[in-house]
Structure 1
């Protein structure tokens, strides 16, 4: 009799244990991850972000859509924001993607935003670059030259290691030249002077694409170039995690 009681008692303990365990799994599954939307550089894909480590966050990569010929950045942001489907999202914008994230943040409520190798306002861009763009000189750059890498582009983008050069080569090779030209033209006529709220800016001291001397970031990465999201990802990931956690 005692043996039967012990068996029944053991079975009950196992059932209770499984019940609690199942409930724990259900609770864990029910907890939604915070969603962060990532805007890459001009025409680039999500591969540039592959080294970022953001555990606990559901990453959604914004896909560039074809731009209309005379579309402004504001109008384009109004269309691309349809890819953001959660309320109070976190945004991360890289280079041109940072400019677009700023425009999107003016149209929806954003929890927090991070700009990497990018700018908050027009005043942080090099005035010589504006002059170059407004003259329309970008139109005469051959498509093959835009999509090709050499020692000058490696230096300009801060690609020093073999993996950096491989990543940059892929990014430029896959660049949509039509979108690239539209983006440059649109930046030339970008007039934003409104500093976005709930935003931090991370910039490299060796950035040549968006010169470090013109920006006033919250975090400066010593020696970081325009590709630092790829080759300084550990440092940048830590900054982002700490900022999102606060």
Structure 2
């Protein structure tokens, strides 16, 4: 909501409940029904970026931007994969998932009062069943090919998706996982410049 993209009509894709047995590809197949225009520009944030990568395999996308996200499985932390593959995410109490403290603020890079307030509301609204399904799905995500016509914008201080593992087109110095909140002006300018370019990247 903080991105300022004049000249473009923003349409927010709504998360839908995941079916317990479906994978990311099957979920993306259901999500794409919300995209009603041809050759859309897509912006995917965090886990939404992973879904966007899968959606881009199913429809023609003009250009795509991944924020605080990954293009392929290799950009994800192997220790996190191990944790998720073992199913240890099931042991995280619901109360811990839905509440914030100084550790979650630090982990997500929420520094200002507004950032902390936004993260608090975000976690309070989290569907715990969906959160656990997402972790399980990421653990079994096997995409090895970077999508075409896509740029990746990542913060150097991202602790959720470790900055040193990704190879973004743009690095936001000091940006955390929630940099879309506090670096929105810089990110908006990058996106607008990319959308306006006549390139195949």
TM-score, L = length of structure 1: 0.80
Write out per-residue CA displacement over residues 10-65 of structure 1, whole angstroms, 9 at most, x where no aligned residue.
Answer: xxxxxxxxxxxxxxxxxxxxxxxxxxxxxxxxxxxxxxxx2100011110000000
Give the number of the structure with larger relative contact order, counting CA–CA contacts within 8 Å between residues 6 or more apart.
2
Q: Which residue of 1 aligns with 2:183?
A: 232
Task: Identify the match of residue 213 of structure 1 among 155, 158, 164.
Answer: 164
Where 2:43 maps in the other structure, the secondary structure is strand
Where 1:59 maps in the other structure, the secondary structure is coil
Unaligned regions of 5+ residues in structure 2, if any?
Answer: none
Deviation of 1:194 after TM superposition, in Å, equals 1.1
Task: Identify the match of residue 153 of structure 1 among 99, 104, 127.
Answer: 104
Deviation of 1:242 after TM superposition, in Å, equals 0.2
Unaligned regions of 5+ residues in structure 1, if any?
Answer: 1-49
Q: Which residue of 2 aligns with 1:104?
A: 55
Q: Which residue of 1 aligns with 2:194?
A: 243
Q: Which residue of 1 aligns with 2:29?
A: 78
Q: Distance in 2 between matches of 1:216 and 1:80?
A: 27
- Mapping of residues 1-246 of structure 1, within 5 Å: 50-246=1-197
Write out per-residue CA displacement over residues 67-119 of structure 1, whole angstroms, 9 at most, x where no aligned residue.
Answer: 11010100000111000000000000000000000000001000000000000
Q: Distance in 1 between matches of 2:111 and 2:28?
A: 33
Larger radius of gyration: 1
